[in-house]
Amino acid sequence: MKNRVHALAYKCVLSICALCLSIISFGQIRLFDNSEAGITVGPSNFLGDLGGNAGRGTTFLKDNNFPMTKLTFGGHLTFNPNPLIGIRLAINYGTLEGDDAVIKAKGGLEEARLNRNQRFKSTLLEGMLAAEIFPTVMFEENPNDVYHKLRPYGLIGVGAFHFNPQGKDPLTGNWVYLKPLATEGEGFSQYPDRKPYNLTQLCIPMGLGLKYYFSDNFALGLEIIYRKTFTDYIDDVSTDYIDPKLFDQHFGTNTATAKLAKRMADQRLQVFQGDNKRGTPQNNDAYYTIGLKLSFRLQAADPWANSTRCPSFRY
C-alpha cells in the first residue's frame, strides 16, 4: 500500500510538471527566461486533533497554538509563462508539533482534549507544484516592467509530504516513533477498518501572498499557505481507544513493545467510564506556513541576440 501511494504521488507530480512544461513550450519561452529561484523561511503550525483552543476542535486557524510554532525552510524555482501566472516548484523542510497541555481549559469541549494529555512531534519534508496568479497585472500599463511594483497573488497546487510522528514516553522521557506501536489498533484483525497509515501523503496547498520587486532582478514576498491533507494521522491520533489487552495479543504478553504501546496509546489524566473517544476521524489534519520569500530572476543567455545592442540601465 505504501509503495502504491508513493507511486501515485510521484505520477501526479510528473504529470503536472509535464503540463507546466507544455505551457512554457507553447508560449515559446526558453526554460530560464522570465524565471526565478530563491529561498523561503518562516513559521509553521500544525492544525489537527492535538492542542487547540476553547470549544470544539477544528483544523483551521481558530485552533492555532503559538507555543507550538516551528521554523520551516525551503527553496523554490518559479517559471513565468506570462506576467499573470507563475508555476512554482518548491521543496520545504521543517517540524510540526502538537500538545494537549497547551490548551487553556474554560469548561467546554476543550476539557476532553486537555484530559487526553497527548503530545507529538514530526519532521516534515514537502514537495509541491503550484500556480501563482497575479490578478492586478491586468490593470497595469506595462506588466513586463516589474521595477518597484507591489503585486498581491493567490496560490493553489498539489503537493506530497513525508512525516513520522513521535511521542514522549511518560516513563522514560524518551521520544519514540508511534506508527510501529499501532496505538489505535491499526492493522489489528479486531479492527479491519483501521489500516496502517502511510507516512507519505498528498496535500493541496492554497494561500495568499504579497510580492515586492525592489529591483528588476530581486523580489521579496510574504505569504501564508494552508495545506489540506488526506490523512488524520500526522499526530497519530484519529479515532477511539482500544482494549489494552490487544497490545499483548499483537506484540506478545508483557513484552517491552506491548508495554510501550499501552503507555503511548492512553495517557489520560482521568479515565471516565463510557468515554472512549481519542480523536475525531471526521476531520483530517492540516498545517500551514508563513513564509518570507526572497527571489532572484534567472537570465539565460540568448545566442541569437544582437551583440551590438546597447544595454539599458535602471537608476
H-type alpha helices, the chain: 2-26, 110-116, 245-251, 256-265
- CA nearest neighbour of 279 among 290, 269, 287, 268: 268
Q: What is the pLDDT confidence band of residue 307, given thresholds at 50, 70 and 90?
A: very low
**Domains of the chain in sequence order:** 2-298 (2.40.160.20)
Q: How far apart are CA 1 and CA 79, in angstroms?
A: 34
Alpha-carbon torsion angle 294, 205, 127, 32, nearest 10: -50
Neighbours of 214 (CB within 10 A): 11
Please write the tens of the pLDDT for every residue from 160-195: 999 999 999 999 999 999 999 999 999 999 999 999
Residue type at 5 in one-letter notation: V
Q: Do the beta carbons of residue 267 and residue 116 sit within 8 Å?
A: yes
pLDDT at 54 over 60: yes
Neighbours of 157 (CB within 10 A): 20
Share of the chain above pLDDT 90, in %: 69
Please write the tens of the pLDDT for every residue from 218-231: 999 999 999 999 99
* Range name among 8-17, 32-41, 102-111 with the lowest pLDDT average: 8-17
* Close Cβ partners of 7 (under 8 Å, ≥ 6 residues apart): none
Tell me, what's the pLDDT at 4?
53
Q: Do the beta carbons of residue 223 and residue 208 sit within 8 Å?
A: yes
DSSP designation for 238: -
Neighbours of 80 (CB within 10 A): 21
Q: How far apart are CA 234 and CA 162, in angstroms?
A: 9
Mean of pLDDT over the chain: 86
- CA nearest neighbour of 51 among 265, 242, 237: 237
**CA angle at residue 251 from 245 to 253, to 5 degrees?**
55
Residue type at 15 in one-letter notation: S
Q: How far apart are CA 268 and CA 304, in angstroms?
A: 71
Q: Do the beta carbons of residue 200 and residue 2 sit within 8 Å?
A: yes
Please write the tens of the pLDDT for every residue from 65-121: 889 999 999 999 999 999 999 999 999 999 999 999 998 888 878 898 999 999 999
Residue type at 171 in one-letter notation: L
